[in-house]
Chains A and B, each alone.
Chain A
């Protein structure tokens, strides 16, 4: 993954065909975090707890729907990606990268949940095959996140100055 340049408010990023395939694969999993994962509060005695939880669930569901539409638009929008012989160059606004971060992190956290939400301690022995797959997706999602964060926050310099 490369950060090529900025033009106005747009960031131009380059992915090898393999990297783009992986990103598309990860995006295809969204949403991966179960809808019931988030709780508004841990306080069982809170007034209107269930009612407020339902409102939160609805808001998050609407957000997921919006992100899902944005993914489909991103992958199908003409002119978004320019293909070269060896790579694919994509144009992203800051808002695009911001929701991509949300989406990719959903896949990361969802992959972690799918592994049984392991703690910090490393378990000995070989993990089950299904868990291994989710562990891989989690790490790949993390790599994309760090790249997007580096671009957004200016920690990754562009390869080609404006």
Chain B
């Protein structure tokens, strides 16, 4: 039986993620669909940036692909800007939008 001989390398979680998905923080971080970023790549980026497991990252990736966008997290302005910057570093099509009541 083949076994892994390399260290288990998972995306590093370098950011505080406790507040990810907490409601009513005012700003929505949204990833928009495009026909160029590869599905596996988008999944990987979500894992790295948000520290999500593969299942959750893939769920959001499929939302982007099938529905045109995915709401990734609600944050205050500063944190939302941080996440948008991190996603754009990977050339994903991400923006922040004010949450409307």
Contacts and interface: CB of A to CB of B under 8 A. Distances in A.
Contact of A9 (B7, B84, B85): B7
Nearest to A11: B6
B56 interface: no
Contacts of A43: 97-98
B39 to A, nearest CB: 10
Contacts of B6: 5-6, 11, 154, 158, 162
B5 A101 contact: no
Contacts of A46: 98
Interface string A1-31: 0000110110100000000000000000000
Contacts of A11: 6
B48 interface: yes
24 contacts: A5-B5, A6-B5, A6-B6, A8-B7, A38-B88, A40-B96, A41-B95, A42-B97, A56-B84, A56-B85, A60-B88, A98-B48, A102-B89, A102-B90, A102-B91, A106-B91, A108-B36, A109-B91, A118-B35, A119-B35, A146-B40, A149-B44, A154-B9, A157-B4
Interface string B60-101: 000000000000000000000100110011110001111000
Interface string A89-124: 000001000100110011011001000011110000
B76 to A, nearest CB: 13
B18 interface: no
In the complex, which range does the number of interface residues on chain A fall in? 35 or more
Contact of A154 (B8, B34, B85): B8
Interface of A: 5-6, 8-9, 11, 33, 38-43, 46, 52, 55-56, 59-60, 63, 94, 98, 101-102, 105-106, 108-109, 112, 117-120, 138, 142, 145-146, 149, 152-154, 157-158, 161-162
A154 B8 CA distance: 8
A108 B92 CA distance: 12
